[in-house]
Structure 1
């Protein structure tokens, strides 16, 4: 579903180029979940942006569903995101002028795959039944994050990219949201790549990798069990 082949990425600084990714290889199969960990500034968000086609590698290749992203024009990458990707961020990025239900349906409408029955089921599964006509500002932080997850999953994407999706939530709410996310991901069969700094949040996922000094490595057993 997602593949990185010897991907390099660097950014210009006053001191010269700063290499963030130094020949990264990564593969993620359909239905598989992967936690990406690392210190702040290690390049986790950069890797996620490359996976989404929001940025392009300096060298190497990123492939989504067998297609090389680098060879696509921006309009084609945008279409690929609409049709194949779901995005969940630490900041919820809900549309304040849209109701809960319209926010939920937004991504599916853009992808041309709106399914009223699936939207109704998602509302119930997200614990938002009875709140469909409310606006984001009328929801708690946990409710807003569940809505953001539902919006990303409404079009049944092939790949879900999540950047610290529980980072703004308290521990109890974070656990509830994570359990819901993994349940819905398993039900839809999409692949999940999640950036997190928390070994506890990463633990339930199928695989855990650490990004450090531009390269990926499996998490040490002691770290993964914290």
Structure 2
């Protein structure tokens, strides 16, 4: 089988009122699915047809294949993003993660403010990121479909700041969207899990030969 649209790790309405089921219907069910469909069409019949998603992203980046890079990277970015979310109040930073947040940023609120500033002020479409770099937490952002997978970064957490991520619920209010998501529905258990440096693998998919029937 080809790359697939992963199921959401929560019920459609589990993130309300901070992220609505309608947003998820469009963001996951239409935008994310479109990246899956397009990427499958682009790798069919090529040497990357059976490659894993991460391998496809890296190969597309090295080859300068923008179409394949954009669609495969967006599959990975979105698959990672959904895992970064959880129902309100279900997790909080604790243990090693909480210690690192305190050491590297001065506390949870300072981290949230830095992530919000980076994400809100990112020009046009893209992603805000918390990554692990040489044992330290760092905040950055990447444009359009760009992804830590292509740069050897160790991803911990992401915030989608493409307009389709928030327009249904927040219209053009990116600052309110980012603040609400960060303060209410982050899956800190998932963020902590990624401290092992294996975050890239948690949104990867194994590649498989794509038949004509799969694409029809």
TM-score normalised by structure 2 residue count: 0.25
| Structure with the higher strand share, 1 or 2 | 1
